Structure 1
Amino acid sequence: MTVTDWLLDSDPSIRWQVLRDLTDAPGTEVAAERSRVASEGWGHRLLALQQPDGKWPGNTPNFSSDKASEWWHSLDSSRQGTLFPEWTSIAWSLTLLRGFGINPDEPSVRDAVALVHKNARWEHDGEPFFSGEVEPCINGRTVALGAYYGIDITPVVTRLLGEQMADGGWNCEQENGSTRGSFHTTIEVLEGLSEYDRATGGTPQLSEAIKRGQEYLMARRMFRRLSTGEPINKDRQTGTTSAWTQFSHPTYWHYDVLRGLDYLRAAGATPDERLAEAIEVVRGKQDAQGRWLLENSHPGELHFPIDDGDGAPSRWNTLRALRVLRWHDQAAG
């Protein structure tokens, strides 16, 4: 079995992306396979779990402090289940469906999004879901979801454009005095702005913000400190060593090299020599069968497994790595 055959022997959410990104299948074949995501496999299963109030079932969050736990329990029930718990709340369930590439025009998907639009409120201060929140990392994801599912998300985009930092990045700690961008926040915002750009056709201001954000990543060669050139071996948010050169899926709000490169590919960026080292990190992880492993699953619960666990070959990581290498190598000629 070739690696392509192995990938195709999977869920429709993977198959249609393999057809589009790796085999150059005809558009009609790709669209037919994509249409199955809402009616078969993981996409259908996740849609079916949504409750009448728009939420997805999940356990009480396991907060790291008593203060956070007390805050959660003090909330009205209508403000629980939007961002927390990780990773079964509304935000993450919609994100997973987007990652599956579910067609937003399918009636079952429109119905699911309408329930969220009507009922969901952020835990922070009860803001309506598609009105966004206060942190740019959350708002970047909100823009990605709104743009993908056909919701007018322009006010949140305007806010994010006004929050871009001098170095081209964004940081959720801006309100606490941070003056430097964050890889985690920047990738969240870039994915959102690029999704909005695709959905609306964009503006010169939006294009410039996206370009500056991409330069933030590329100037740091996707995983190095700009100040010293040293690799960022420890994630200050999680304490994980070598986290950004270990590949996860789903990535949730976490940055890693493969996520950053796959974003640039999807956004239509042109690779240059500053990506060479990151590309070789990806290339060097391919095993003898042409596959990539799942290396760094993030703590928390999924609704159901979509991979075979850390240390096992991952169809999701393999798909993303192969299309990143194809994008880079085709550009290099």
Structure 2
Amino acid sequence: MTIDPRTLDWLLDSDPALRWQVERDIVGSPPQTWQATRARVATEGFGARLLAKQDADGQWAGGSFFPAGFFDSAEPDEPGQPWIATTWSLKDLRDWGLDAGVLADTAQKLAENSRWEYGDLPYWGGEVDVCINSYTLATGAWLGADVSGLIAWFPAHRLADGGWNCEAEEGDSVRSSFHSTLNAVRGMLAYEQITGDEGLRDARHGGEEYLLERRLLYRASTGERVGGFVAEFVYPNRHRYSALAALDHFREASILEGTAPDARLADAIDLVRSLRQPDGTWLQGAPLAGRTWFDVDVAEGEPSRWLTLSGTRVLDWWDSASG
């Protein structure tokens, strides 16, 4: 670890949802230390505040992906997408490290009460959107739900170029997208981390190869940078791709499998390093528009603890492996 002590103190002076990850991934604290901090997510800060928003039927905001009544009112005219419904709330809690035992009856309640806005499909069966299915696969594994249908869904819906695209099911695209593919492989990685089941590893590796062939940044056809989004780091990133989000995935996969970083990540690493500020922080990008329950990070242009956590652990992982 190479980080300014003042920056480290700033990172540690944070919500338990973030602090335990700083302790584990940057400080290298013993498990009993970071696990004790992680346990506080259920009772303090962001985790406790979001848990308090859960409905009696197991949902948040009365809906699976959108708040109840969203399409029956003027709400669709609001900027962006609301980030307060069940799928997003559970994704946040899982990412923050909440102990699944705190939500012991939620999987059953959602099986009984929650349906997808698309086709009125049952919650744990997923729907047709790969990003939604990736979140559902990971969250279902975390909560102990039956996600067997989704386990079969991912290999069956890979596109010919190796990845996934949320628009493919509507017939709008036969090419994979960076955003959809990253979400797919992250969901499959989380499933394997939680369950120990390696049944989706080949499909995940195929999607990771799609990104690696493009060095996380470039079009396969022209070699040009795919778009400004790869260098636009933001937390929460929700569904959005960035070089930093992709590198954090490859770091986790490397740790799980005990493998060295792929050399094709070098350009993305250089990009992340170039955006680090002199004090070792990374600045918040433009937050995704849409309703939230409450703010969990700073305004655009300010130093972000969440992005600094991700950037620091990615560079530490890469630099340690490369000597």
TM value normalised by structure 2: 0.89
Deviation at 1:213, TM superposition (A): 0.9
Deviation at 1:152, TM superposition (A): 2.5
Partner of 1:80: none
Question: Per the alignment, in what secondary structure is the counterpart of residue 49 of structure 1?
Answer: coil
Partner of 1:184: 179
Structure 2 counterparts to residues 252-263 of structure 1, below 5 A: 252-263=238-249
Q: 2:191 aligns with which of 173, 188, 196?
A: 196
Deviation at 1:164, TM superposition (A): 1.1
Structure 2 counterparts to residues 303-322 of structure 1, below 5 A: 303-322=293-312
Partner of 1:103: 99
Percent identity, please: 42
**2:115 is aligned with 1:121:** yes
State the distance in 1 between where 2:123 and 2:58 align.
11
Structure 1 unmatched runs, 5+: 63-69, 75-83, 234-241
Deviation at 1:158, TM superposition (A): 0.4
Deviation at 1:267, TM superposition (A): 1.6
Deviation at 1:114, TM superposition (A): 4.1
Moved more, 21-30 or 143-152: 143-152
With over 3 angstroms needed to count, the CA separation of the structure-2 counterparts of 1:58 and 1:152, relative to structure 1, is closer
User: 2:231–2:243: 8 Å Cα contact kept in structure 1?
Assistant: yes
Partner of 2:72: 73
User: 1:271–1:328: 8 Å Cα contact kept in structure 2?
Assistant: yes
User: 1:294–1:310: 8 Å Cα contact kept in structure 2?
Assistant: yes
Q: 1:298 aligns with which of 288, 292, 301?
A: 288
State the distance in 1 between where 2:231 and 2:21 align.
24
User: 1:47–1:112: 8 Å Cα contact kept in structure 2?
Assistant: no
Deviation at 1:89, TM superposition (A): 0.8
Question: Per the alignment, in what secondary structure is the counterpart of residue 282 of structure 2?
Answer: coil
Deviation at 1:113, TM superposition (A): 4.3
Moved more, 207-216 or 143-152: 143-152
State the distance in 2 between where 1:85 and 1:281 align.
29
Structure 2 counterparts to residues 155-304 of structure 1, below 5 A: 155-175=149-169, 176-203=171-198, 206-233=200-227, 242-268=228-254, 270-304=260-294
Deviation at 1:243, TM superposition (A): 1.7
Q: 2:146 aligns with which of 145, 152, 155?
A: 152
Question: Per the alignment, in what secondary structure is the counterpart of residue 34 of structure 1?
Answer: helix
Q: CA RMSD in A?
A: 2.3
Deviation at 1:209, TM superposition (A): 1.1
Deviation at 1:135, TM superposition (A): 1.8
State the distance in 2 between where 1:7 and 1:111 align.
34
State the distance in 1 between where 2:306 and 2:285 align.
12
Moved over 4 A (4+): none
State the distance in 2 between where 1:18 and 1:41 align.
16
With over 3 angstroms needed to count, the CA separation of the structure-2 counterparts of 1:126 and 1:201, relative to structure 1, is same
**Higher relative contact order structure (alpha carbons within 8 Å, sequence separation ≥ 6):** 2
1:35-77 Cα shifts (integer Å, max 9, x gaps): 0000111100100111212232389x99xxxxxxx99229xxx
State the distance in 1 between where 2:21 and 2:28 align.
10
Partner of 1:81: none
Question: Per the alignment, in what secondary structure is the counterpart of residue 225 of structure 1?
Answer: coil
TM value normalised by structure 1: 0.86
Q: 2:129 aligns with which of 121, 127, 135?
A: 135
User: 1:58–1:85: 8 Å Cα contact kept in structure 2?
Assistant: no
1:113-160 Cα shifts (integer Å, max 9, x gaps): 443333111100111211101122211121121122222212112011
The aligned amino acid for 2:201 is S
With over 3 angstroms needed to count, the CA separation of the structure-2 counterparts of 1:58 and 1:122, relative to structure 1, is closer
**Aligned length in residues:** 306
The aligned amino acid for 1:184 is H
The aligned amino acid for 1:215 is E
With over 3 angstroms needed to count, the CA separation of the structure-2 counterparts of 1:330 and 1:285, relative to structure 1, is same
1:158-196 Cα shifts (integer Å, max 9, x gaps): 011111122210112222152211111111111111112
The aligned amino acid for 2:42 is A
Partner of 1:237: none
The aligned amino acid for 2:239 is W
